[in-house]
Amino acid sequence: MKTERFRLERVGYMPKKLEPSVLYISQEFQTAAHLCACGCGVKVRTPLGPTEWLVRDTESGPTLRPSVGNWQQNCRSHYLITNGKVEWAGQWSEQKVLAGRAAEQSRREAYFKEHYPTPNIFVRVWNWIKSILD
């Protein structure tokens, strides 16, 4: 049975058995999990963080961004969770999935390059020497 709405449940550890219509969030492990909204029963795990998914809790329910695309599953479901409500998105071709993954990787690389710039040449040489000595 398809899920129309999700509610948020904060947990320390993810339960072994996930309940339908619940978006579980573990702040400690920076991850979210839920059962696929199509009703197929597949567990969907999404890492949380500045380069991954973001969850916002509202009075109406949780919002999860970006969309969930179960491209490796038989159902190939694609949806958003907005204020607790499931919003179905269109199917993507294999080319679009690959382009989306490449864009995600580019965003990650840009984020880490900005926030963790490459050390200067002296630090890199010193780290290289230490790696040889270890």
pLDDT for the residue numbered 119: 66
pLDDT tens per residue across span 106-132: 888 888 888 877 767 777 788 888 888
Burial class from Cβ neighbours inside 10 Å (0-12, 13-18, 19+) for residue 122 reads: exposed
pLDDT for the residue numbered 122: 74
Report which residue type is found at 32.
A
Burial class from Cβ neighbours inside 10 Å (0-12, 13-18, 19+) for residue 108 reads: middle
Evaluate if pTM is beyond 0.75: yes
What residue has token string 């969930």? Answer: 68
Name residues of the chain where pLDDT drops below 50: none
